[in-house]
Structure 1
Amino acid sequence: MRQSRRSPPIINAPPFVTAVALAIVAAHGLRLATGSSLDLFFVDIGAVFPDRFWGWISGDPVAGGYTPYGNALEALIPMAGTALVHGSWSHVLMNTIMLIAVGKPVYAVMERIMSSRAGVNLAFLGLFLASVIGGSLAHLLAHYPDGPPAIGASGGVSGLIAGALMVQNGLPARLFDRKFLTTSAVFFVGNLILAFLGPSLFGSEIAWQAHIGGYVAGALLFRFLARDLGRTEFRA
């Protein structure tokens, strides 16, 4: 009797992690396919404008800036929606490939924490979105009262990187573990280098503050979620 062999999946990752990555790719494809008809929509939901945000906070337009957000919803949606907006295919593919790579070990930890598949998916998505928002907040704070807009899922990916590094260093997750602090320092220095080399390498500035903010937010939340998992309870 001939045994059937299943072909390995194209993307070797949990289906939900793959789905998040594909949703980001699909959003970029939709933006390009629709041309200018939906461009303003994507800008409104996904570009984090410091001048529009701080103008909304103060109630007064920033001199030389864009019109402030009209309400809290308009101001807060881009802080998470920015994960769906990217500047180029290289930008979106770089983020989604990294999301899948570092999302796998983080998702595996969520499976240990949550008792249901829906809970695992919500925990993973919550960690990712919290990191995106943390990155957006860091960009806004670094560019008060005005500055260039930021787009992309890099803050969320950075938060997942923090979680993956904690997994690699062993559970329970510790913020002040020497290995984690060392790898975090490397991450921070690497982003400072990108801040200087970004324009020449990628043709645009790198929102490195968003990377740092997402990393810190992801580390704090992952530490909270995985605080009770011991080294003997988890097998990568």
Structure 2
Amino acid sequence: MARNPGRPPIINAPPLVTALALTLLATHGARILLSESLQSTLLWHTALFPERFWGWVGASLPPGAPEPYSNIIAAMMPLFSIAFVHSDWAHVGLNAAMLLGVGKPVHDYLARARGSESRRTSELFLFLFFISVAGGSVAHLIANYPVGQAAVGASGGVSGLIAAVLLGQKGAEGRLLSRPFLTASALFVVANLVLAFIGPAMLGAGIAWQAHVGGYVAGALVFRFLMWRLEGVEA
């Protein structure tokens, strides 16, 4: 059957963004098919445990705390690997949907600034996403010193893309300290505080709002730097 050329695609996002969103879904689906012991082992190595990190850097931990990370690779990897570990289908589904929604305009901006859909565009997008993930991880660690709940999910990366969308909408006029961006940022923080308050009751799980804010800040800074490098836009 011939394809209707006037019909828009079901997922109107660049291939890289779509592939990343599908990877989040696929990795969650693969994990829940494992035995409970294998799932626990996987989470032990990929989720972010504040006690394990702070114990690794020498902080004093209470009795019964989890074993610290054994080396720098084991300690640094969860800062990024948490993006591929989620608590349930609702969690990963929301992050994948948000990634598709905000990833497209960010990728489009980078492609226009580069002049084409180049490999460099994909590299810049992934750099922005994973630095935002790491920024969220660092914020979660700071907020949970020396002990706290383990963190999972790609929300820090998605939050960084949200910041990039808000900055990119104004083009060269987008400034980190502009009133529109600061207002939007304040609303973002307030919304996350509300989610943190109602999350346990409505969603049955806590919301790592500090990771969201950390990813947002990291995404804003990195995207602003990319705007400056790609278009010569001043901060």
Normalising by the residue count of structure 1, what TM-score does the alignment of the two structures yield? 0.91
Report the Cα offset of residue 102 of structure 1. 0.5
- What corresponds to 1:5 in structure 2? 4
Paired with 1:198 and 1:169, the residues of 2 have a C-alpha distance of 32
Of 161-170 and 179-188, more deviation after overlay is shown by: 161-170
* 1:74 counterpart letter in structure 2: A
After superposition, the C-alpha distances for 1:31-65 in whole angstroms (9 at most, x for unaligned) are: 01223253134313421100000000007654331
Hey, which bits of structure 1, 4+ residues long, moved more than 4 A?
59-62
Of 61-70 and 93-102, more deviation after overlay is shown by: 61-70
Paired with 1:113 and 1:197, the residues of 2 have a C-alpha distance of 40
2:185 counterpart of 1:184: yes
* 1:38 counterpart letter in structure 2: L
Paired with 1:220 and 1:63, the residues of 2 have a C-alpha distance of 39
* 1:58 counterpart letter in structure 2: G
Stretches of structure 2 that go unaligned for 5 or more consecutive residues are: none
Contact kept, 8 Å, 2:174 with 2:181, in 1: the verdict is no
* 1:206 counterpart letter in structure 2: I
- What corresponds to 1:22 in structure 2? 22
Of 28-37 and 196-205, more deviation after overlay is shown by: 28-37
Contact kept, 8 Å, 2:61 with 2:146, in 1: the verdict is no
Contact kept, 8 Å, 1:44 with 1:78, in 2: the verdict is no
Report the Cα offset of residue 17 of structure 1. 0.4
- What corresponds to 2:125 in structure 1? 124
* 2:78 counterpart letter in structure 1: P
- What corresponds to 1:173 in structure 2? 174
Report the Cα offset of residue 4 of structure 1. 5.9
- What corresponds to 1:160 in structure 2? 161
After superposition, the C-alpha distances for 1:128-181 in whole angstroms (9 at most, x for unaligned) are: 000000000000000000011010000000000000111223335310111000
Stretches of structure 1 that go unaligned for 5 or more consecutive residues are: 232-236
- What corresponds to 1:35 in structure 2? 35
Paired with 1:119 and 1:151, the residues of 2 have a C-alpha distance of 28
* 1:136 counterpart letter in structure 2: S
Report the Cα offset of residue 118 of structure 1. 1.0
- What corresponds to 1:102 in structure 2? 102
- What corresponds to 1:111 in structure 2? 111
Compared with structure 1, are the counterparts of its residues 66 and 106 closer, same or farther at alpha carbon in structure 2 (3 Å cutoff)?
A: same
Q: Could you say what secondary structure the match of 1:58 adopts?
A: coil
Contact kept, 8 Å, 1:47 with 1:82, in 2: the verdict is yes
Contact kept, 8 Å, 2:51 with 2:146, in 1: the verdict is yes
- What corresponds to 2:141 in structure 1? 140
Paired with 1:172 and 1:48, the residues of 2 have a C-alpha distance of 37
How many percent of aligned residue pairs carry the same amino acid? 51
Contact kept, 8 Å, 2:61 with 2:147, in 1: the verdict is no
Contact kept, 8 Å, 1:52 with 1:61, in 2: the verdict is no
Report the Cα offset of residue 220 of structure 1. 0.2
Q: Could you say what secondary structure the match of 1:34 adopts?
A: coil
How many residues align structurally?
229
2:204 counterpart of 1:203: yes
Paired with 2:41 and 2:175, the residues of 1 have a C-alpha distance of 41
Report the Cα offset of residue 109 of structure 1. 1.3
* 2:69 counterpart letter in structure 1: Y
Paired with 1:184 and 1:151, the residues of 2 have a C-alpha distance of 23
After superposition, the C-alpha distances for 1:180-221 in whole angstroms (9 at most, x for unaligned) are: 000000000111111111100110110000000000000000
Paired with 1:180 and 1:59, the residues of 2 have a C-alpha distance of 37
- What corresponds to 1:234 in structure 2? none
Normalising by the residue count of structure 2, what TM-score does the alignment of the two structures yield? 0.91
- What corresponds to 2:51 in structure 1? 51
